[in-house]
């Protein structure tokens, strides 16, 4: 078995396509069971965020695993594998582990160093555990990824700026209307992104109002930032009163229509500041705000598509710069952790071989001691004990070097091959099904998108 990562993200796909992949909790659960119910996938975890949908799976066949995961993703997006292939990325074995660690650390995020993805990964892992779609193979990988994410943020300066999509978006708002301190801001959505938006706004001194499909959630979030909560039917009046509207719900359709914003802008006429602009920040996927809002006079829209278009040469949205040394340190930590996990998995793969070799040796010794007892029945007990101790000591010394060496070599590229050689040389009849899955994490594979098509080489 080997780890496979297949998915789409802001790095390769436009926001319009990412919207097609948007997954609610029910969609994710359905995808998890569909994945593990396929022929080549035994375990699976789905990470779905506002700028990526990726499947991390344990597979017994690379080509079969890629095909099955790609088909599940294609069905979710309502498209064919052929249509999606230019945007799909595939990572395998060592590269898949390193990619997962990189995502957990925030290095692959639209805003480099952001920490929200670590919580999203924790939620994805918890859901997969709850649904029983991760097991012995993926538990240590997912747990290590969470630890790596924490280590990167604790041991490097990658998040010194505290950047996130929310903070970058609010920076864009301030570029338009000035500082947010004292300004009325409406947050629609009380989930994790809404909570991050509300707390970030409160730190900047904004007067926060929260609205949600679940009033109790809105009230709880509003209370935490000393703001106020309003019902969704009150949106037109609240938008009219706001300088900034932030939307981040999990709805599958438009939440704020063009007519609502147009009416809000008209209602400003006759107010103390009738010409004041409105900044609309839409961080939802799929989007909450009707695209037509961007064409309204006095309205400035900041959304994922805009942030994606502002990416620099490194593929990340422009934000407070992260020092190159911190990024390099984070990558070095990820590389070290990837190598350590590879060594652990390969050592675990050879352990049954070592155990089988020692068991076989013990059986041979026991058989020979029985034969000796039959040939020399008059041998006294003390001599018999000393002979047995000597024979076992000789066998242990003979086996010590090969067993120690095979464990050491297992952590090197191709190390599991030495276990194969040991089984062949000593005729160890180990049932392959009771052995841990053989993994060769030393060599990574990135598949050309054309190979993802059914019947291709992937």
- Sequence ranges of the binding site: 49-52, 109, 114-116, 120, 189-194
Do strands 244-247 and 89-92 pair parallel, antiparallel, or not at all (unpaired)? unpaired
What are the Cα distances from residue 250, in Å, to 18, 191, 201? 14, 8, 20
Q: Tell me, yes or no, if 50 is annotated catalytic.
A: yes
Whether 253 and 273 have beta carbons less than 8 Å apart is answered as no
- The DSSP call for residue 136 is T
- Helix 192-203 / helix 215-224 crossing angle, nearest 10 deg: 30
Out of 3, 18, 47, 50, which one is annotated catalytic?
50
Instruction: Supply 127's token pair.
Output: 């859901």
Measured CA to CA, the distance from residue 347 to residue 249 in angstroms comes to 45
Measured CA to CA, the distance from residue 316 to residue 270 in angstroms comes to 42
Whether 354 and 402 have beta carbons less than 8 Å apart is answered as no
- To which residue do tokens 């409406």 refer? 186
* Residue numbers belonging to the annotated binding site for NADP(+): 189-194
* Residue numbers belonging to the annotated binding site for substrate: 49-52, 109, 114-116, 120
- Per the DSSP assignment, residues forming a β-bridge with 278 are 299
Measured CA to CA, the distance from residue 374 to residue 68 in angstroms comes to 61
Q: Which residues are catalytic?
A: 50
């Amino acid at each position: 078995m080997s780890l496979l990562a297949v998915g789409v993200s802001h790095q390769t796909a436009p926001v319009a396509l990412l919207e097609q992949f948007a997954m609610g909790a029910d969609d994710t659960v359905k995808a998890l069971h569909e994945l593990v119910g396929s022929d080549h996938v035994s375990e699976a975890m789905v990470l779905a965020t506002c700028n990526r949908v990726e499947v991390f799976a344990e597979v017994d066949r690379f080509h079969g695993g890629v095909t099955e995961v790609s088909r599940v993703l294609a069905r979710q997006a309502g498209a064919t594998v052929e249509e999606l292939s230019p945007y799909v990325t595939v990572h395998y074995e060592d590269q898949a582990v390193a990619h997962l660690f990189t995502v957990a650390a925030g290095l692959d995020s639209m805003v480099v160093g952001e920490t929200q993805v670590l919580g999203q990964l924790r939620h994805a892992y918890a859901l997969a555990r709850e649904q029983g779609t991760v097991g012995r193979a993926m538990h240590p990988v997912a747990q290590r990824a969470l630890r790596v994410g924490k280590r990167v943020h604790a041991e490097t300066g990658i998040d010194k700026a505290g950047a996130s999509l929310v903070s970058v978006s609010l920076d864009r708002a301030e570029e338009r209307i000035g500082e947010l301190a004292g300004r009325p801001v409406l947050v629609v959505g009380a989930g994790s992104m809404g909570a991050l938006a509300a707390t970030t706004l409160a730190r900047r001194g904004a007067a926060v109002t929260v609205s949600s499909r679940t009033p109790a959630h809105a009230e709880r979030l509003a209370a935490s930032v000393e703001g106020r909560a309003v019902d969704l039917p009150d949106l037109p009046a609240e938008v009219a009163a706001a300088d900034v509207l932030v939307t981040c719900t999990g709805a599958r359709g438009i939440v704020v229509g063009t007519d609502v914003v147009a009416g809000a802008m008209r209602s400003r006429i006759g107010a103390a500041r009738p010409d004041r602009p409105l900044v609309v920040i839409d961080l939802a996927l799929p989007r909450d705000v009707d695209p037509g809002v961007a064409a309204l006079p006095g309205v400035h829209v900041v959304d994922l598509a805009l942030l994606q278009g502002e990416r620099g040469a490194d593929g990340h949205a422009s934000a407070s710069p992260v020092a190159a040394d911190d990024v390099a340190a984070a990558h070095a930590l990820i590389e070290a952790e990837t190598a350590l996990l590879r060594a652990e998995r390969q050592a675990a793969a050879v352990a049954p071989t070592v155990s089988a070799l020692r068991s076989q040796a013990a059986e041979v010794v026991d058989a020979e001691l029985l034969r000796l007892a039959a040939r020399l029945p008059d041998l006294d007990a003390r001599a018999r004990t000393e002979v047995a101790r000597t024979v076992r000591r000789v066998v242990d010394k003979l086996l010590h070097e090969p067993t120690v060496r095979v464990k050491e070599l297992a952590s090197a590229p191709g190390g599991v091959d030495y276990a194969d050689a040991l089984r062949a040389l000593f005729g160890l009849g180990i049932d392959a099904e009771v052995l841990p899955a053989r993994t060769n994490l030393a060599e990574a594979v990135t598949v050309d998108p054309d190979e993802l098509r059914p019947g291709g080489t992937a």
